[in-house]
């Protein structure tokens, strides 16, 4: 969902209130994106790899 003006944003929100399927799809997409980009594995993988390399020295 994208809106360039406050009027467009309000219209988009109103449209979502009337479209359950679109709300569900948007929520699922948001959850999938958050899980991919902000999971513990994504957040800590670089640190774990660094620590492993340091421990192997």
Binned at pLDDT 50, 70 and 90, residue 2 comes out as confident
| Residue range 17-44: mean pLDDT, rounded | 94
Interval 20-27 mean pLDDT: 96
CB 38 within 8 A of CB 47: no
pLDDT band at 1 (very low <50, low <70, confident <90, very high): confident
- Judge whether residue 35 has pLDDT over 80: yes
Give CA 54 to chain center in angstroms: 32
How many angstroms separate the CA atoms of 32 and 30, rounded? 5
Average model confidence (pLDDT) for the chain? Answer: 94
Core vs surface per residue 25-55: b (16+ CB within 10 A) or e:
eeeeeeeeeeeeeeeeeeeeeeeeeeeeeee
Q: How far apart are CA 11 and CA 49, in angstroms?
A: 46
Q: What pLDDT shows up at residue 25? A: 96
């Amino acid at each position: 969902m994208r809106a360039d003006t406050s009027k467009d944003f309000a219209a988009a929100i109103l449209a979502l209130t009337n479209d359950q399927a679109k709300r569900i799809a948007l929520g699922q997409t948001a959850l999938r994106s958050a899980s991919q980009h902000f999971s513990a594995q994504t957040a800590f993988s670089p640190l774990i790899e660094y620590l492993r390399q340091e421990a192997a020295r």
